[in-house]
């Protein structure tokens, strides 16, 4: 039976590398894969999944209004696919995660989604929240904080290295950078000295 997988991480954990390696393993065994990524991420140019260590692969892009069940059904009409990979899965809408679940259930094809769990303010992305609710299996792609502990949180910094505590969940085309931290160092960076958030 096919499953819906959610591979989650914080920023810079190498999830695209893990995705590309997993897809490569299928293709090496003469099985086709179908790759999707969010249009919002144009780091590697539209329609490409790229990792920071230099490998990449062509991918279709999805927008919030796309019906992914229909899109995948159209792709399957062109030929068999052994697995479907979705990068930047935090940008999926709730409906799109359900569409991927229908692909798994009704077409019996595994869907492997890779995405960030929380934003820079410590809130779940909508796509990730739905994946956490619906996925059959979840795996964490790990990276470490500067202190050596597992990083689970991310801070957004401006071009001067100042930590930003406010702003939109998704920021496109700015000079912001992201640093992954453990929860304790994220709290320190965000100025949490106690009170309501503790």
Considering the complex, state which of residue 85 and residue 186 has its C-beta at the smaller distance from Zn ion.
186
Is 115 one of the annotated binding-site residues?
A: no
Active site residue 88: yes
Stretch that binds Zn ion, among 14-22, 49-57, 74-82, 185-193 (CB under 5 A): 185-193
Which helix (H) or strand (E) element contains residue 178?
Answer: strand 177-181
Binding mask 148-167 for Zn ion (x = CB under 5 A): -x------------------
Which helix (H) or strand (E) element contains residue 113?
Answer: strand 111-116
**Which residues, 6 or more positions from 35, have their beta carbon under 8 angstroms from its beta carbon?**
19, 23, 49, 57, 58, 59, 60, 84, 85, 86, 87
Considering the complex, state which of residue 62 and residue 186 has its C-beta at the smaller distance from Zn ion.
186
Which one of 36, 81, 185, 190 is in contact with Zn ion (CB under 5 A)? 185
Name the 3-class secondary structure at 53: coil
Is 61 one of the annotated binding-site residues?
A: no
Considering the complex, state which of residue 71 and residue 185 has its C-beta at the smaller distance from Zn ion.
185
Q: Does 170 bind Zn ion (CB under 5 A)?
A: no
Which one of 145, 154, 179, 190 is in contact with Zn ion (CB under 5 A)? 145
| Interatomic CA distance for residues 187 and 197, integer angstroms | 9
Sheet holding 137-140, edge to edge: 60-62, 33-38, 83-86, 111-116, 4-9, 137-140
Catalytic residue among 28, 78, 88, 137: 88
Question: Which residues are documented as binding site?
Answer: 9-16, 87-90, 145, 147, 170-173, 178, 182, 185
Residue ranges in contact with Zn ion by CB under 5 A: 145, 147, 149, 182, 185
Residue numbers in the known binding site for ATP are: 9-16, 87-90
């Amino acid at each position: 039976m096919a499953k819906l997988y959610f591979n989650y991480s914080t920023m810079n954990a190498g999830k695209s590398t893990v995705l590309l390696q997993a897809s490569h393993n299928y293709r090496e065994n003469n099985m086709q894969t179908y790759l999707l990524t969010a249009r919002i991420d144009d780091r590697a140019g539209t329609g490409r999944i790229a990792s920071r260590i230099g490998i990449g692969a062509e991918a279709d892009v999805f927008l919030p209004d796309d019906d992914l069940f229909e899109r995948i059904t159209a792709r399957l009409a062109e030929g068999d696919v052994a697995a479907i990979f979705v990068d930047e899965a935090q940008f999926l809408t709730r409906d799109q995660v359900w569409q991927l679940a229908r692909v798994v259930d009704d077409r019996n094809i595994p869907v492997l989604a890779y995405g960030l769990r929380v934003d820079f303010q410590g809130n779940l992305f909508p796509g990730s929240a739905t994946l956490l609710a619906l996925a059959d299996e979840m795996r964490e792609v790990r990276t470490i904080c500067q202190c050596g502990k597992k990083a689970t949180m991310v801070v957004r910094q401006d071009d001067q290295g100042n930590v930003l505590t406010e702003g939109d969940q998704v920021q496109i085309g700015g000079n912001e950078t992201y640093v992954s931290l453990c929860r304790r160092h994220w709290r320190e960076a965000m100025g949490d000295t106690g009170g309501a958030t503790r």
